[in-house]
């Protein structure tokens, strides 16, 4: 194990040092990681031939051996021809090389990357080691503010905690319709592979259980490679390059784990006009929530990271929340703190729900009030969520909140009737006083307070005006 960790650390450092050199030449980290992915796949295909006498899946004339001996402009020309050819393949190769383009146009630096990759036998490493190296590179890329890749990255400790709660079972299908680099799918895979050594079950897990969708070609490449390095989807990638929201789901699934993109739809996207949706809206997160509600089988389970506005927005938001409470069991909401995502100031929640039974109670866990995390000094770790996971999995569940002597308890149950009676069926609830002094209000509650205070002020001004008029008389 020590050797594995050492190999992982040494290689990750080597790979990232080269990224820093290239960054100085104007080659972005994300571009570098993408080129690394292409070349790494070619190298492992060559190793598969050499070490295991497997037939190469790559057409002749476009393999690692056709690159390694070249340099200068000949190398650039051959590499670009290779990328074009492989992007046209109709299999795993075609997915990994989706819309592939060369971004390292200086031959000497392309040669450096190729030489570094060629120095190691990647297939000799255990799957977990290869995967960990690649995950390490993706995470570093996500941390780099200039790359903008953080938008694709859900904190791994949060993913792990969610999977520990949902517990996907081997034999179930798991989907992430906004999969980014595949973090949720990998965590689900790790959870399920430990449950059985049965060959048929493991084959199903490796080839049919997982499905991811993302509409960014670059991300599809990274996710496909990430899963491939863990032994998943060795013939055909489980990742599709599509816009999940454009069409009705082809198949229903047992489990959904997702963190759909926040904000508006990207420029140039097709307007969503889905007759199967409960309500029409331009809100991206509400549309993703509707899509996932419709994707679940009866009895299927979902855990979805969503921003605060999904909890309180009126109109379409209220319609969807009511649907969620009547046709689904929305049994748990985890309120997350700021400072855990690469995008600054994001206020998000994890909604856990099951399809087919109406909601009776909603259990809230407030991991926001007085919780301070930053990406630099107090990064979210898995142990920070131990208490939540323990509360979630307890049977029976027991509140840690008590009105008399534990008002700062973070685990509290609300009856669905009380939720339905709230303005706009708002789920935006925080009950703990921040810092022991100030109460943190939801936006809805804050607006209500402001409106009430404004009315009181107007009333007081009117009364004062009457008094003034009386004095003048």
Per-residue pLDDT of the chain (473 residues), as tens digits, is: 445 556 667 777 777 777 777 777 788 878 888 898 899 889 988 988 888 788 888 999 999 999 999 999 999 999 999 999 999 998 889 999 999 999 998 999 999 989 988 988 877 776 556 667 777 777 776 666 554 444 557 888 999 999 999 999 999 999 999 998 899 999 999 999 999 999 999 999 999 999 999 998 888 998 898 888 888 887 788 999 999 999 999 999 999 999 998 877 766 677 788 999 999 998 999 999 999 999 999 999 999 999 999 999 999 999 999 999 999 999 999 999 998 987 778 899 999 999 999 999 999 999 999 999 988 889 999 999 999 999 999 999 999 999 999 999 999 999 999 999 999 999 999 999 888 544 445 565 567 667 767 776 876 677 777 777 766 55
Locate 285 and state its tokens.
């997160």
What's the pLDDT score for residue 129?
65
Nearest to 319 by CA among 279, 372, 273, 379: 279
What's the pLDDT score for residue 23?
78
* Residue 293, Cβ density class (10 Å: 0-12 exposed, 13-18 middle, ≥19 buried): buried
- Partner residues linked to 413 by β-bridges: 363
Give dist(CA 308, CA 321) in Å, integer. Answer: 13
Helices assigned H by DSSP within 364-429: 386-393, 416-420
- Partner residues linked to 334 by β-bridges: 350, 365
Q: Burial letters for 69-84: b for 16+ Cβ neighbours within 10 Å, e otherwise?
A: ebeeeebbebbeebbe
Contact 258, 153 (CB under 8 A): no
What's the pLDDT score for residue 141?
67
Q: What count of other Cβ atoms lies within 10 Å of the Cβ of residue 254?
A: 18
* Residue 402, Cβ density class (10 Å: 0-12 exposed, 13-18 middle, ≥19 buried): exposed
Give dist(CA 280, CA 276) in Å, integer. Answer: 10
Which residue spans within 296-434 are E strands per DSSP?
296-307, 328-335, 348-355, 361-366, 411-415, 433-434
Give dist(CA 400, CA 391) in Å, integer. Answer: 9
What's the pLDDT score for residue 343?
74
Q: Which residue has the tokens 């450092």?
A: 13
- 362 in helix, strand or coil? strand
Phi and psi (nearest 5°) for 380? -60, 130
Give dist(CA 231, CA 43) in Å, integer. Answer: 16
- Partner residues linked to 439 by β-bridges: 433
What's the pLDDT score for residue 418?
96
Q: Burial letters for 365-384: b for 16+ Cβ neighbours within 10 Å, e otherwise?
A: bbbbbebebebeeeebeeeb
Question: 189: left (phi > 0), else alpha (psi -120 to 50), else beta?
Answer: alpha
| Strand arrangement of the beta sheet that strand 253-258 belongs to | 239-241, 210-214, 174-176, 253-258, 296-307, 348-355, 328-335, 361-366, 411-415
Locate 27 and state its tokens.
């080659």
Give dist(CA 186, CA 149) in Å, integer. Answer: 18
Give dist(CA 324, CA 117) in Å, integer. Answer: 49
Phi and psi (nearest 5°) for 171? 105, -20
pTM comes to 0.84
């Amino acid at each position: 194990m020590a050797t594995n960790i050492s190999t992982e650390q040494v290689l990750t450092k080597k790979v990232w040092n080269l990224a820093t050199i290239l960054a100085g030449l104007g080659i972005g980290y994300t571009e570098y990681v993408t080129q690394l992915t292409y070349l790494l796949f070619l190298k492992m295909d060559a190793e598969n031939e050499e070490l295991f006498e497997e037939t190469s899946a790559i057409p002749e004339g476009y393999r690692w051996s056709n690159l390694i001996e070249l340099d200068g402009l000949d190398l650039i020309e051959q590499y670009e021809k290779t990328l074009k050819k492989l992007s046209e393949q109709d299999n795993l190769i075609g997915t990994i090389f989706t819309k592939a383009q060369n971004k390292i146009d200086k031959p000497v630096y392309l040669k450096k990357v190729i030489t570094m990759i060629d120095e190691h036998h990647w297939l000799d490493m255990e799957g977990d080691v290869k995967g960990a190296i690649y995950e390490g590179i993706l995470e570093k890329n996500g941390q780099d503010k200039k790359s903008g890749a953080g938008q694709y990255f859900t904190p791994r400790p949060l993913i792990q905690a969610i999977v520990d709660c949902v517990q996907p079972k081997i034999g179930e299908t798991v989907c992430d319709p906004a999969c980014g680099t595949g973090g949720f799918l990998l965590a689900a895979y790790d959870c399920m592979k430990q449950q059985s050594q049965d060959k048929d079950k493991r084959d199903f897990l490796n080839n049919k259980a997982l499905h991811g969708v993302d509409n960014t070609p670059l991300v599809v490449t990274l996710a496909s490679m990430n899963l491939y390095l863990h032994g998943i989807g060795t013939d055909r990638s489980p990742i599709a390059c599509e816009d999940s929201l454009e069409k009705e789901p082809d198949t229903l699934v047992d489990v959904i784990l997702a963190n759909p993109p926040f904000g508006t739809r990207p420029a140039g996207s097709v307007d969503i006009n889905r007759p199967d949706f409960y309500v029409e809206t331009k809100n991206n997160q509400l549309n993703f929530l509707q899509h996932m509600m419709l994707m679940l089988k009866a009895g299927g389970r979902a855990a979805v990271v969503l921003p605060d506005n999904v909890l309180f927005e009126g109109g379409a938001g209220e319609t969807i929340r009511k649907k969620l409470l009547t046709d689904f069991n929305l049994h748990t909401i985890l309120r997350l703190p700021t400072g855990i995502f690469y995008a600054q100031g994001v206020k998000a929640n994890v909604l856990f729900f099951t399809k087919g039974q109406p909601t009776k109670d909603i259990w809230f866990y407030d991991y926001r009030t007085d919780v301070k995390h930053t990406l630099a000094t107090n990064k979210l770790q898995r142990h920070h969520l131990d208490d939540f996971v323990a509360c979630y999995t307890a049977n029976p569940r027991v509140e840690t909140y008590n009105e008399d002597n534990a008002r700062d308890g973070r685990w509290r149950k609300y009856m669905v009737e009380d939720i339905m009676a709230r303005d706009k069926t708002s789920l935006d609830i925080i009950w703990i006083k921040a810092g022991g002094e100030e109460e943190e209000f939801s936006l809805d509650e804050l607006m209500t307070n402001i409106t009430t205070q404004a009315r009181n002020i107007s009333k007081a001004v009117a009364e004062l005006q009457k008094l003034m008029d009386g004095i003048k008389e």
